[in-house]
Amino acid sequence: MRSRYLGKAFSGKPVRRSSWSLWLAPPFLVLGLACAAYLKLHGIAAPLRLWEASRIEVRGNHVLLASDVERDAHFGSRVPWLFLDPREVRSRLLDDPWICAARVSRGIWRRVYLDVEKRSPQAIVPYRRGMAELDQDGVLLPLGRGRVPADLPVLTGLPLDRLKPGSPAREPRILAALDFLSRCRSSHAALWRRVSELRMGDPALVRMTLEGIDAEVWLRPEALTETKLALLATVLPDVERRAPSAVVVDLRFRDQVVLKTAETASKAATPPEAGAGDG
């Protein structure tokens, strides 16, 4: 009787049973330690840092080198991926005068994408005993980091030494000349390839030098228009064929082309009378 009651008493208490997870934990722990030791011995632990980028892809850099764009990003020796700040990197990229737009994004497999849009130079200018370039908006583009000037027309006679790289030129004559060259490049490509220099030292006169012809083309700064481009492209072949001795092709007059010889060119450099030129 006594043993029967004792059995009932013990049978009413919950019995402790061991969980299956406790049996599996030690093997997994040993396996993890073995894998970590293997990776450490074979030098694979460093590339598995999830907070660092494994690859940087630069896109849209037609003029800039990929190394230049990465240098502008100022990543340092270790490129962040998990803690990447796209806005901060984009701000650093835009400090480069050659970059007008940038987008920074994080990709899968620890990749970082740098999409940049570069400025398109339209002309070369003398700048501080060297050379620089101007884009269509007049932004001054330096020629550092081993870059060489592109095959572009040269603008001379412009006071640009005080202009900082990345700053736009505000003078109306400069903007008019850049717009003129841009229009010429898009609508009269053959003529644009021949434009060698635009001399703008005289506020009332633009002297254009063309390759393959000794004559200068004279234009008014306020008349650098599509109409003058079409007129020049039309009359230039006739001038080269019929008047090889001409030294000036004067386009300062409305709907008129005046050819000047060496004797008359020096006297005709003054602006035309009011009403005779372009309106």
What is the domain partition of the chain in residue ranges?
49-118, 121-265
Q: What is the pLDDT of residue 150?
A: 79
What's the rounded Cα separation, in Å, for the pair 120 and 97?
A: 11
Q: What is the pLDDT of residue 275?
A: 46
pLDDT at 263 over 70: no
- Tell me: the pLDDT tens digits for 88-144? 989 999 999 999 999 999 888 888 899 999 898 999 999 988 899 999 899 999 887
pLDDT at 166 over 60: yes
Q: DSSP states of 86-145 as a string?
A: HHHHHHHHTTSTTEEEEEEEEETTTEEEEEEEE--EEEEEEETTEEEEEETT-BEE---T
- Tell me: the pLDDT tens digits for 170-219? 888 899 999 999 999 999 999 999 999 999 888 889 999 999 888 899 99
Neighbours of 216 (CB within 10 A): 20
What's the rounded Cα separation, in Å, for the pair 242 and 34?
A: 90
Topology (CATH) of 121-265: Rossmann fold (3.40.50)
How big is the chain, counted in residues? 279
Q: Same topology for domains 49-118 and 121-265, yes or no?
A: no
- CATH code assigned to 49-118: 3.10.20.310
Q: Could you give the C-alpha distances from 46 to 55, 120, 180, in angstroms and in order?
A: 14, 41, 56
Q: In terms of pTM, does the model score above 0.95?
A: no
pLDDT at 230 over 60: yes
- Tell me: the pLDDT tens digits for 43-89? 554 444 667 777 888 888 777 788 888 888 888 777 877 777 889 98
- Tell me if 211 sits within 8 A of 194, measured CB to CB: yes
